[in-house]
Amino acid sequence: MTDSYPAGNGDPFCGTWQLDPAECQYEMGAPPRSATYRIEAEGQALKMTIDWVSADGQSATIVYRGIPDGHEHPSLDNPDVADTLIMKRLDPSTLDTISSKSGQVLGHARRTLSPDGRTMKIVQSTTTDEGIVLRNTSVYIKR
């Protein structure tokens, strides 16, 4: 199934997305003041670039790439954070990412597009050392 939705031109996730801070619901940390999420097709991979301003006014950027084939690949962009990444397209409007370090899952992100493709909801989850699952939900609007 994952091969049925390759990255490339016409991918509904590709484009520039602007955070709607009022729609964020965070269980860990505070939602950013603002954020831009760019997704670009790069061969078989999707390149994700996220620029944000934290609640305390600090600017940050992260870039990573994943091949949405459901297989584990080395995380070449941020190996100090995660050493492997699994990206899987569940259907044309759902894209999952699982990041791991030294064989331990660090986090899961599920991106879901609205039926009109103009809104992307991202639910990020992680499990604490105590086994508690924490979720952050962000909503982005396509520009």
CA distance 18 to 43: 24
Segment 106-139, tens digit of pLDDT? 999 999 999 999 999 999 999 988 999 999 999 9
88 falls in which pLDDT band (50, 70, 90)?
Answer: very high
| pTM, full prediction | 0.91
Q: What is the mean pLDDT of residues 46-69?
A: 97
Cβ–Cβ < 8 Å for 53, 94: no
CA dihedral 70, 1, 124, 100 (to 10 degrees): -10
Q: Where are the domains of the chain?
A: 2-142
C-alpha 20/C-alpha 4 separation (Å) is 31
| pLDDT for position 3 | 43
Cβ atoms of 86 and 98 closer than 8 Å: yes
Superfamily of domain 2-142, CATH level 4: Calycin beta-barrel core domain (2.40.128.20)
Percent pLDDT > 70 in the chain is 94
| E strand spans, the chain | 15-19, 25-26, 34-42, 45-53, 59-66, 69-74, 84-91, 94-101, 104-113, 119-127, 133-142
pLDDT given at position 126: 95
- 73 CA to centre of own chain: 16
pLDDT bin (cut points 50, 70, 90) of residue 9 is low
Other Cβ atoms within 10 Å of 124 Cβ, number: 19
User: In this predicted structure, what is the pLDDT of residue 8?
Assistant: 61
Give the pLDDT confidence score for residue 1 in this predicted structure: 39
Look up tokens 């584990």; give the residue.
72
Sign, CA torsion 1/79/119/13: negative
- Answer whether residue 11 shows pLDDT above 90: yes
